[in-house]
Structure 1
């Protein structure tokens, strides 16, 4: 029952994050300039803050396979829990993308194949025509930065009061950097869901063909963050 509650919290929390973040990303087109980029970044950060303070006491508020993987490497999750968390996160993310799909279908004259569902991308799918190598490097670095903050903030119980604020702010910061480049993933579930729903609903498979980058790079970033974190805690 305890694990079921954790998985349900991760599912609902990931739904919150993906729905709020990607809906804002579609409404506030990042090509519109700095105000839109700031708005999207804040939406993701504030959504994560909401999730952390609502569901964090049940599951830790990971809502991100990269964070859960780092917690596994740091011996805070066992393998069955890790698998359960990731499945719950993917289901929640898909539900979030489906909710956005339903909203867009009810707006007259909106072509979902054109607007998209907030999927990540590089090359022609990036507002800056960012390269594959650049996307991999950026997502690894941004994820490592974000996950390192999560590991640090959640390492002591006395940080609980400000934990959600700091983690939400960290997600906002990495989005400010990554939105013009890849749309910012740092979260495989957040990237897989819109790419998958977009491919199934419209037949547009470009985002799905590129999604491996936004799965592999964040997971490598999580491993890098864990290595750095453990290096700072060798004496413990």
Structure 2
């Protein structure tokens, strides 16, 4: 379990550092030219690369909603749920802390005013989308993310392609939802940056735990009882 939780710590660290780091630095630097498309790709690449690097150790969850969705889908033991989630949240916070130290190297940086790549709805949604819109999109996208994960890692799926499918799915998820919530589908990612934003992001954090977890479990149950081959 120590090796597995260490893999989850480093995998989630890389996801937050690479994904949120791209949003904090490159996407806000016009000369970089990556925009939100580049941010979406960055999130997908973090999962793809770490799934290849440590997926054989821990399964490559890097996300409490994925861990709980895999448990709901019958793919993960309940005894590993809490240790995995603790490791994921810790890895995300560690990455956000290093991002904060780097960002503070620029004169005038203020994590509260900047938003620190946090997730939000209403006036804190990048596109001004409502609470209802945020709930729907986070629920649907996390549900489908877990369906992709279950399907890509099924014993009947093409061998070796799971990291690619999952990484591209996360890229697509971000392309769809960055304007709505700045894309969570991952409570550890949301918690990590919300702690440093410190105000509205913490007040709205409940949604980015509750909805992705519910969506992930629904996705796991759909695959387990409707899509998975019984043999």
- The TM-score with structure 2 as length reference comes to 0.93
Q: 1:124 matched to which residue of 2?
A: 123
- Where 1:159 maps in the other structure, the secondary structure is coil
Q: Decide whether the 8 Å contact of 1:117 with 1:194 is kept in 2.
A: yes
1:217 matched to 2:211: yes
Question: 1:157 offset after TM fit, Å?
Answer: 7.1
- Alignment of 1:26 with 2:20, yes or no, is no
Query: Aligned equivalents of 1:88 and 1:159: distance in 2?
Result: 30
Aligned residues: 228
Q: Deviations over 1:38-66 (max 9, x none)?
A: 01100000111111001101001100111
User: Which residue is equivalent to 1:181?
Assistant: 180
Q: CA deviation at 1:99?
A: 1.0
1:14 aligns with 2:9: no
Q: Return 5+ residue gaps in structure 2 as ranges.
A: none
For 1:110-121, what aligned pairs fall within 5 Å after superposition? Answer: 110-121=109-120
The separation in 1 between residues aligned to 2:119 and 2:130, in whole angstroms, is 13
CA distance in 1, matches of 2:156, 2:81: 22
Once the 2 structures are TM-superposed, how far is the Cα of residue 30 of structure 1 from its aligned partner?
Answer: 11
* Equivalent in the alignment of 1:202: none
Q: Is 1:47 matched up with 2:68? A: no
2:223 is aligned to 229
Task: Point out 4+ residue stretches in structure 1 off by more than 6 angstroms.
Answer: none
RMSD: 2.0
2:37 match: 38
1:122-161 matched pairs, under 5 angstroms:
122-156=121-155, 159-161=158-160
* Ranges in structure 1 where 5+ consecutive residues have no aligned partner: 200-204
Normalised to the residue count of structure 1, the TM-score between the two structures is: 0.91
